[in-house]
């Protein structure tokens, strides 16, 4: 079909009009014909099957039965009356129930006449009943044109109140198919269609809105889901390829003496196989002549810092500078201290630049970067200021990428005429499915094993009623010279309440542990007070740290061996996992205790079972993705990324992998989609880019 007709404003569709158009735009984002055709049902009512009363099951499924009404009576109840009819077929009897509209129903229902009824069944004291059934005399039923599988579209309260019911949407959809003559040209090559046995696009579109059978619906959904995911992958992979062709990177030919010296004589521990593999991947990128754009994923404590340092040492060995940017001052300071210690026997000049660096020190750092005296700079957003210029920045490392916007990353790029190599690190494990979609244009490395000598953290779930036992356990651990975190949830809407919870908790701990020093950290404190308290705890001057989630990222206290999470049911899985990662950093056995009340939702139970069942961040991320969906997982600034129309990244994981495989195959053979057979792909691709229907703003 001519794509232009699909860009027609929805106001022009027969049956819409200005008021409805306004509602459709505001409530469900339907602006054009194209938006309406891509507004897919979220479930279907199966009217292909008729049940006998004896076949009904005790589930609340919607069913269709043919039978006759033999008797109607009114039953008094606490509030008002209900109307009850006996409905029979040759296999048994059930009841139809109405709580309102009695007069009309009594007048219009015919006894002993065959009806088709449809609705949800309830099982109550030995009898099936159906409240407010849809009813139609069999004679009428036979005359109507209808599809057996009836689509149910997503709706909002406002739409329903304004009379835009499911039936209305269905009518508009029919009208749209009439006006466009249901001619939807194919967007995929014949080769792809044959290989994957895909039905034509027009047939898929029709059967997703008006399915003729279960089987055709399944084929239609597969076809449209594949197409949607295929074009996302095509765009991401193409972006990655173009970046490699277009953006030349510095070629790091040497490994350099610093790297050799560090690797042979100063490694604090033997590298794991995963670390070795990742360093190899990074080295091959740095020597390839294209700009590196790599995402390094590794669980808390998996040793990303050493990998980052070794990449920086390769840059230094080729006479370049390197920088590492962290989201908070505490993290930047921690990286600085860690790297300074690792490099103490190397001739490497490392400096720290943050918001609280003094004026004189800043000036000195700015000069040192411009004349090349400083080899490695570690800092926060302060590195992005225009005053910060490098002599030759060869590698930029960004920690906890999701806390930095894309604009901030590109500022780092512009510090050089040739953009530096980029390594993005994250301790938030991203499930493979999501990584393929969100970061499809980055190459991905994963450190999936912990350094030797680390004992897995023991995680248990305890109810509030066991608190005294938990306190006794804490006393034993502190008695052995260990330190303890107690973390309270923070829910933005009610900071007063959170603060009160925290203070109550602090007081009860102070009463329970009179002989110990306690630190407290929360969001309402000044930054320097927080740092002071964190520092006391890190130095071992306080034994217990009571805090809200501000300690989530980064603080490294190897002596802390117990993490207590209060009201654990109020935390998300990734937060629980991040918090747990604050302990287990030393050689001692560490513990994480999840405290909750007795009332727990099913999701909360799943989260707690997952936490006590595994320490694997990737496994946890997969469960989290199933529970929360992709939008929430990436936090607010990324939430628009996957406004998929029909595919679902979690449930359609297998289709996603297939789509990525075929997108890769197409681009390997024909990177610019120039060949005759790929013209359709090229045309659709440029249309999608033009109408921004593809996620142009992905990482």
Segment 89-118 mean pLDDT? 91
Most confident range (mean pLDDT) of 182-191, 602-611, 633-642, 646-655 is 602-611
Three-state DSSP class for residue 531? helix
Helices 201-209, 166-179: inter-axial angle, 10-degree rounding: 160
How confident is the model over 476-503, as a mean pLDDT? Answer: 80
Percent of the chain with pLDDT over 90: 47
What's the pLDDT score for residue 639? 35
Q: Which of 59-73, 120-134, 140-154 has the lowest mean pLDDT?
A: 140-154
318 touches 250 (CB < 8 A):
yes
Tokens of 365: 């750092």
Residue labelled with tokens 């044959």? 194
| Phi, psi (rounded to 5 degrees) for 98 | -130, 135
**Res 633: pLDDT:** 45
Helix (H) or strand (E) holding 532: helix 527-538
Q: Quick one: average pLDDT of 441-447?
A: 83
Min mean pLDDT across 441-445, 579-583, 689-693 is at: 689-693
The predicted model gives 108-115 an average pLDDT of 93
> pLDDT grade, residue 367 (50/70/90)?
very high
Q: Could you tell me which residues are beta bridge partners of residue 422?
A: 293, 396
Q: Which of 614, 615, 610, 613 minimizes the C-alpha distance to 625?
A: 610
Region 130-147 average pLDDT: 82
Helix (H, G, I), strand (E, B) or coil at 58: coil
Does residue 189 or residue 2 have the better pLDDT?
189
The CA distances from residue 422 to 16, 393, 399, 442, 499, in Å, are: 50, 11, 11, 10, 40
Interval 422-446 mean pLDDT = 78
pLDDT for res 552: 46
Distance CA(567)–CA(239), nearest Å, equals 44
Let me know: does 183 contact 1? Beta carbons within 8 Å. Answer: yes
467 vs 80, residue with greater confidence: 467
Write down the pLDDT at residue 185: 84
User: Using one digit for the tens of pLDDT, what is the confidence trace for 196-214?
Assistant: 999 999 999 999 999 888 7
Res. 67: pLDDT tops 70:
yes
Q: Which residue has the higher pLDDT, 308 or 428?
A: 308
Strand, coil or helix: 25: helix
pLDDT for 493 beyond 60: no
H-helix segments, 539-678:
573-580, 602-613, 617-633, 653-669
Q: Which residues does residue 153 pair with via DSSP β-bridges, in sequence order?
A: none
| d(C-alpha 420, C-alpha 397), whole Å | 10
**Position 466 pLDDT exceeds 80:** yes
The pLDDT score that the predictor gives to residue 249 is 84
For the cut 70, the answer to whether the pLDDT of residue 404 exceeds it is no
pLDDT, position 128: 93
Q: How far apart are CA 29 and CA 24, in angstroms?
A: 6
pLDDT at 495 over 70: no
Write down the domain spans for the chain.
Answer: 48-145, 257-286+302-426, 458-614
Burial group, residue 386, by CB count within 10 angstroms (0-12, 13-18, 19+): exposed
Decide which of 495 and 517 is more confident: 517
In CATH terms, the superfamily for domain 48-145 is Nucleic acid-binding proteins (2.40.50.140)
pLDDT in tens, 290-307: 889 898 988 777 888 999
One DSSP character per residue, 157-214 reads HHHHHTT--HHHHHHHHHHHHHHTTT-----S-HHHHHHHTPPPHHHHHHHHHS-SSH
Scan for tokens 């991320």, then name that residue. 621
48-145 and 257-286+302-426: same fold? Answer: no
Tell me what the mean pLDDT of segment 640-664 comes to.
80
Cα separation, 362 vs 357, whole angstroms: 6
Span 497-518, average pLDDT: 86
Chosen CATH of 458-614 out of 3.40.390.10, 2.60.40.10, 3.40.50.300, 3.10.180.10: 3.40.50.300
pLDDT of residue 693: 44
pTM over 0.75: no
Maximum mean pLDDT: which of 304-308, 579-583, 653-657: 304-308
Instruction: Look at residue 496 and tell me whether its pLDDT is greater than 70.
Output: no
Adjacency order of strands within the sheet including 92-98: 122-124, 127-131, 92-98, 81-89, 62-76, 115-120, 134-137
d(CA 504, CA 520): 12
Mean pLDDT confidence for 235-245: 83
Residue showing tokens 């499930």: 431
pLDDT band at 641 (very low <50, low <70, confident <90, very high): very low
Average pLDDT over residues 96-109: 89
CATH architecture observed for domain 257-286+302-426: 3-Layer(aba) Sandwich (3.40)
Exposure b/e, 638-666, CB count within 10 A at least 16 = b: beebbebebbebbebbebbebbbebbeeb
* CA dist list (Å): 20 to 42, 157, 478, 555, 644: 21, 14, 66, 54, 24
Q: Of 111-120, 385-394, 632-641, which gets the smallest average pLDDT? A: 632-641
Is pLDDT of 535 > 60?
Answer: yes
Q: How confident is the model at residue 248 (pLDDT cuts 50, 70, 90)?
A: confident
Measured distance between the N- and C-terminal CA atoms of the chain, rounded to whole angstroms: 33
Helix (H/G/I), strand (E/B), else coil: 485: strand
> Computed from CA positions of residues 637, 438, 246, 250, in that sequence, does the dihedral angle turn out positive or negative?
positive
Residue 350 has pLDDT above 60, yes or no: yes
Determine the angle formed by the axes of helices 573-580 and 602-613, rounding to 10 degrees. Answer: 30
Residue 227, token pair as written in the block = 């197409």
Helix/strand/coil (H, E, C) string of 345-392?
A: CCCCCEEEECCCCCHHHHHHHHHHHHCCCCCEEEECHHHHCCCCCCCC
pLDDT bucket at 642, cuts 50 / 70 / 90: low
State yes or no: pLDDT of 631 exceeds 60: no
Question: Do 258 and 388 contact (CB within 8 A), yes or no?
Answer: no
**Alpha-carbon distances of 89 from 49, 55, 64, 71, 126, rounded to whole Å:** 16, 11, 12, 13, 17
Q: What is the mean pLDDT of residues 254-261?
A: 93
Q: Where are the alpha helices (H) located in 255-303, listed in sequence order?
A: 257-261, 273-286
pLDDT tier at 401, thresholds 50, 70, 90? low
Please state, for a pLDDT cut of 70, what percent of the chain lies above it: 90
Q: What integer best gives the mean pLDDT of the chain?
A: 86
CA 390 to chain centre: 36
pLDDT band at 147 (very low <50, low <70, confident <90, very high): low
How many Å separate Cα 349 from the centre of its chain? 39
Residue 640: pLDDT band with limits 50, 70, 90: very low
């Amino acid at each position: 079909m001519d794509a232009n007709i699909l860009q027609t404003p929805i106001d022009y569709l027969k049956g819409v009009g200005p008021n409805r158009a306004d509602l459709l735009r505001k409530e469900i984002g339907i602006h054009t014909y194209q938006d309406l055709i891509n507004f897919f049902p979220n479930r279907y009512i199966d009217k292909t099957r008729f049940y006998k009363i004896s076949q009904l099951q005790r589930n609340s499924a919607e069913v269709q039965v043919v039978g006759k009404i033999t008797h109607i009576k009114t039953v008094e109840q606490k509030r008002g009356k209900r109307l009850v009819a006996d409905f029979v077929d040759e296999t048994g009897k059930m009841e139809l129930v109405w709580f309102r509209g009695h007069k009309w129903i009594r007048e219009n229902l015919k006894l002993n006449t065959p009806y088709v009824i449809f609705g949800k069944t309830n099982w109550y004291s030995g009898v099936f009943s159906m409240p407010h059934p849809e009813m139609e005399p069999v004679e009428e039923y036979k005359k109507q044109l209808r599809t057996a599988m009836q689509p149910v579209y997503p709706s909002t309260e406002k739409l329903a109140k304004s009379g835009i019911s499911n039936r209305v949407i269905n009518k508009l959809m029919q009208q749209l198919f009439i006006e466009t003559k249901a001619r939807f040209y194919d967007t995929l090559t014949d080769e792809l269609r044959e290989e994957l046995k895909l039905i034509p696009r027009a047939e898929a579109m029709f059967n997703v809105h008006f399915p003729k059978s279960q089987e055709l619906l399944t084929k239609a959904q597969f076809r449209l889901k594949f197409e949607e995911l295929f074009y996302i992958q095509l765009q991401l992979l193409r972006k990655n390829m173009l970046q490699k062709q277009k953006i030349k990177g510095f070629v790091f030919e040497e490994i350099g003496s610093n790297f050799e010296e560090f690797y042979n004589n100063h490694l604090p521990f033997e590298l794991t196989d995963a670390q070795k593999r990742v360093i190899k991947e990074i080295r091959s990128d740095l020597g390839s002549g294209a700009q590196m754009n790599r995402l390094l994923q590794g669980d808390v404590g998996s040793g990303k810092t050493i990998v980052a340092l070794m990449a920086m040492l390769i840059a230094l060995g080729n006479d370049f500078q390197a920088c590492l940017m962290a989201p908070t001052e505490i993290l930047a300071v921690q990286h600085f201290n860690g790297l300074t210690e690792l490099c103490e026997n190397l001739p490497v000049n490392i400096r720290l630049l943050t918001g609280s660096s003094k004026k004189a020190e800043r000036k000195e750092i700015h000069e040192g970067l411009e004349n090349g005296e400083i080899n490695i700079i570690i800092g926060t957003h302060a590195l992005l200021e225009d005053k910060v210029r490098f002599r030759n920045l060869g590698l930029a490392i960004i920690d906890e990428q999701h806390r930095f916007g894309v604009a901030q990353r590109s500022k780092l790029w512009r510090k050089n005429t040739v953009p530096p190599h980029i390594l993005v690190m994250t301790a938030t494990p991203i499930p493979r499915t999501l990584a393929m979609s969100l970061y499809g244009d980055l190459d991905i490395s994963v450190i999936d094993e912990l350094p030797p000598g680390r004992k897995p953290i023991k995680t248990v779930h305890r109810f509030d009623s066991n608190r005294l036992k938990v306190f006794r356990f804490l006393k034993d651990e502190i008695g052995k010279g260990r330190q303890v975190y107690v973390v309270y949830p923070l829910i933005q809407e009610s900071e007063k309440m959170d603060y009160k919870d925290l203070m109550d908790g602090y007081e009860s701990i102070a009463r329970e542990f009179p002989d110990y020093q306690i630190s407290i950290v929360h969001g309402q404190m000044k930054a320097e007070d927080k740092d002071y308290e964190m520092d006391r705890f890190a130095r071992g001057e306080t034994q217990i740290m009571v805090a809200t989630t501000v300690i989530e990222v980064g603080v490294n206290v190897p002596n802390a061996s117990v993490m207590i999470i209060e009201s654990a049911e109020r935390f998300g899985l990734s937060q629980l996992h991040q918090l747990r990662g604050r302990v287990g950093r030393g050689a001692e056995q560490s513990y994480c205790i999840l405290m909750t009340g007795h009332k727990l939702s099913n999701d909360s139970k799943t989260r707690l079972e997952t936490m006590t069942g595994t320490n694997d961040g990737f496994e946890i991320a997969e469960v989290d993705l199933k529970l929360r969906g992709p939008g929430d997982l990436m936090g607010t600034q990324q939430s628009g990324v996957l406004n998929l129309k029909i595919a679902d990244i979690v449930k359609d994981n297998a289709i996603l992998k297939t789509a990525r495989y075929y997108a890769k195959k197409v681009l390997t053979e024909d990177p610019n989609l120039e060949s005759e057979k790929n013209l359709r792909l090229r045309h659709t691709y440029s249309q999608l880019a033009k109408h921004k229907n593809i996620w142009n703003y992905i990482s």
